[in-house]
Homo-oligomer: A and B are copies of this chain.
């Protein structure tokens, strides 16, 4: 697909339909299939992506007609957002498009669960990010570091925001980086550890950017990590709990997620590496007294992950097996058992110095 800007892509989509109408053909929209059968893991690029199977949505087809209408409504709405320079989110879009069709009892959309997947259809069909369509998602995440950005005309220095840091917005497409002075990016699952590192001036001592995802990384946060890493060639180290959920958070940052496989090249950061915690760390750093017993659901999840193509590296197989065998989890807070500044002054510096990362 030739590179076009988002508005041009939407206009072309509409024009293609009009051409078919003029030619008295059955108007259609072609959409790549997103089911697991069409999701491909590329070991070389370290990312999940979508294959080339597509389905066609026809106007003159009783089973397709409503979805066809919904697709064009959402596309027209996004074009209006872009033209009006207005950003919104999926829920507001649903309310805005929900109405009863003239002379009928039929609603355009009954539930938000009908309009949400249409947005993904358009993302995939036009090879765009939802954020480029001016639709934001959840917001979560904070960042601190020696970075100046320009956002809506404001120059924001992430290193001069006190204890709070910069709240990462849902859409980071339009920010520009004015200056970036950092040797790496440390991505932290939990805010508590982020606050500890921030108070201890870790990012100043180690000349890095620290980002907390506050749990599973929101899209804005993932995109920010990806942009910083790609545009400034910065290594990314991810720091999560030693449990399947923490490792899953890492895998989504690195490889992308299955449900957003079509966006991995924009949301995934293939060069990300895992700094910890691991089950091996428990012994190496004397954390045994501060572990939690893994539940059945953790064991099952770890066993599932052992089968994923993107967890086949021997280092990961070893950690997953250790969790299954020892049935021990450890949270980032476990490091506080060794002293509140153990993480800042011993654990992380040692890991970074020895390049002790998982792939």
Residues of B within 8 A of A160 (CB): 154-156
Residues of B within 8 A of A165 (CB): 167, 169
Contact of A235 with B by CB under 8 A = no
Residues of B within 8 A of A96 (CB): 336-337, 339-340
A86 to B160, CA, bound (A): 20
Residues of B within 8 A of A354 (CB): none
- For window 137-180 of chain A, which residues contact chain B by CB distance below 8 Å? 139, 142, 149-156, 160-171, 175
Residues of B within 8 A of A91 (CB): 192, 331, 333, 336
A290 near B95 (CB under 8 angstroms)?
A: yes
A156 near B164 (CB under 8 angstroms)?
A: yes
Residues of B within 8 A of A336 (CB): 88, 91-93, 95-96
Contact of A89 with B by CB under 8 A = yes
B142 near A170 (CB under 8 angstroms)?
A: no
Interface of A is mostly: mixed
B162 near A196 (CB under 8 angstroms)?
A: no
Contact of A102 with B by CB under 8 A = no
- A-B interface, 6 closest residue pairs, ranked by CB to CB distance from nearest: A151-B162, A167-B167, A92-B336, A95-B337, A163-B169, A164-B167
Residues of B within 8 A of A155 (CB): 160
In the complex, 15 of the A-B residue pairs with CB atoms within 8 angstroms, ordered by the A residue number, are: A95-B290, A95-B336, A96-B337, A98-B289, A139-B142, A139-B214, A151-B163, A152-B162, A156-B160, A156-B162, A161-B166, A164-B168, A165-B167, A166-B167, A170-B195
